[in-house]
Structure 1
C-alpha cells in the first residue's frame, strides 16, 4: 500500500509531521480541525512538504525520523531537501 509522509506548517509557525495512505483526505481532515489535537488548536495549517513512498511502513519510518528533528532542521529540509541537511548536527547548524 502506498504511503505518504507530510509536514504541515501550523498558524503558530510550528510544524506537524504525519504519515497516511490517503494524503489529500488527511490534509482535509486536518484543515477541518479533526486531524489531531495538536493541529486542531493551531489552525489554519498549510501543507509545506510531502513525499510518496511505495509502502506505508516506509512513510511511517520517515515520519518518525523527521519528528526527531529540530524546527530549524525541518525548515532547512523543507527549503532545500535532503541535501540541505546532509551532515547536520547540533554543532554544525547554520548560524552557530
Structure 2
C-alpha cells in the first residue's frame, strides 16, 4: 500500500507536515478538528503538496527529515524548487562482498 507525505498550509501561514494513505481524507480530518493537535488551532487552508512513498516506514522517515526544514524550505519543496530526495539523507552504500580465496 502506498503512503504519502503531505504538506498543508495553515491559516497562520505555517506549514504542517504529515503522512497518510489518503491525503484528501486526512486533510478533511484536519479541517474538521479531528486531526493533529497542531492543526486544531491553526486550521488548514490547503494541501500544498503530497509525495508518494512505497510504505509507511519510508513515509515516516521522510516525515522525520521534512519536519526539520524551515518553513521556506518546506514551501520550496512544495513548489518543486527542491526534490524530496534532496531532503533525505543519502542511502548507506551496500557492503562490497570480498572474493573468498579459492580452496586448495
TM exceeds 0.5? Answer: yes
Name the residue aligned to 1:93: none
**Secondary structure at 1:82's aligned position in 2?**
coil
The CA deviation string for residues 22-65 of structure 1, in whole angstroms up to 9 with x for no partner, is 22221110111111111011114310010111211111111111
| Runs of 5+ consecutive residues of structure 2 not aligned to the other structure | 87-104
Give matches, 1:54-65, under 5 Å.
Answer: 54-65=54-65
Comparing both structures, which one devotes a greater share of its residues to helix? Answer: 1
Which entry has the higher C-alpha Rg, 1 or 2? 2
Distance 1:44 1:3, change over 3 A: closer
Q: Hey, what's the Cα distance between the residues in 2 that align with 1:49 and 1:79? A: 8
Q: Hey, what's the Cα distance between the residues in 2 that align with 1:35 and 1:56? A: 18
Name the residue aligned to 2:15: 15
- Judge conservation of contact 1:39–1:45 (CA < 8 Å) in 2: no
**Secondary structure at 1:63's aligned position in 2?**
helix
| Runs of 5+ consecutive residues of structure 1 not aligned to the other structure | 87-96
Figure out how many residues of one structure are paired with residues of the other and give that number.
Answer: 86
Q: Hey, what's the Cα distance between the residues in 1 that align with 2:2 and 2:63? A: 14
